[in-house]
Amino acid sequence: MGEQWLTILAIGGHVGDAELTAGGVLASHALKGDRIVTLALTAGERGVPAGQDMADYREQKVREAEQFAAMLGGEAIVFEIPDGELEDSDEMRYRVCDVIRQVKPNVIITHFKNSMHKDHMTTHRIVNDARFFAGLASFERELPAHFAPKLYYAENWEDAVDYKPYVYVDFNHEAYELWVKAVSTHWFVTGSKSFPYLEYYKHLARVRGIEARKQYAETFMVPEETMRLRQDSLL
């Protein structure tokens, strides 16, 4: 795969969140030789298919996370926290801080601040603070400090309130095909009766690509304090 220039850590409230919303960009970077790591704070097992045991589905979700990451030459981490029971606590911030220090990402991708899903909003707050803790040398943990310079919030249909695309990252057809193949290993993406996930995100990638005058793209928000467009003239 060549020399690895970047490490990208994509953090979701559930298995599948980061893979769907940022998967095209993750696949694109994977094809360039960059390192991809996904972290799910819960497995998302409460979306269990009718008639299936929830514990079995949790194990399936973990396997799906691992399979997606493996197809991108990366790795997946899934916390054991039950779906829907993610606590907005310092303990969770410290756990994510430790993962950041372990993975040493250049880029972190996570949820936008607003959502119809409480786990998504909680994940947003946890990741923001964990990134701060991870980069603070005076905050002593087992591993040394590491600051991730770039933080992005992915576009998610469940996190849509006040979301306005700020950054467009385009990718080519090869990355698109890899992403679609990898994310289709997740049952809910192709099998859910509640929302056509794969169809929605495939079309969204094309629409955002058109807006960017490219083939495919995914959009991101950034922390409000970093929303500055710098240039040395009006041209």
Count the residues in the chain.
Answer: 235
pLDDT in tens, 90-103: 999 999 999 999 99
* Cα–Cα distance, 166 to 104 (Å, whole number): 25
Predicted TM-score of the model (pTM): 0.95
Contact 208, 168 (CB under 8 A): yes
Q: Are strands 150-154 and 75-81 parallel, antiparallel or unpaired?
A: unpaired
Q: pLDDT at position 4, please?
A: 55
Look at residue 1 in the predicted model and tell me its pLDDT: 40
Structural domains of the chain ordered from first start: 7-225 (3.40.50.10320)
Over the chain, what is the mean pLDDT? 96
Q: Specify whether the CB–CB gap between 156 and 117 falls below 8 A.
A: no
Residue 157: pLDDT over 90:
yes
| Cβ contact 68:93 at 8 Å | no
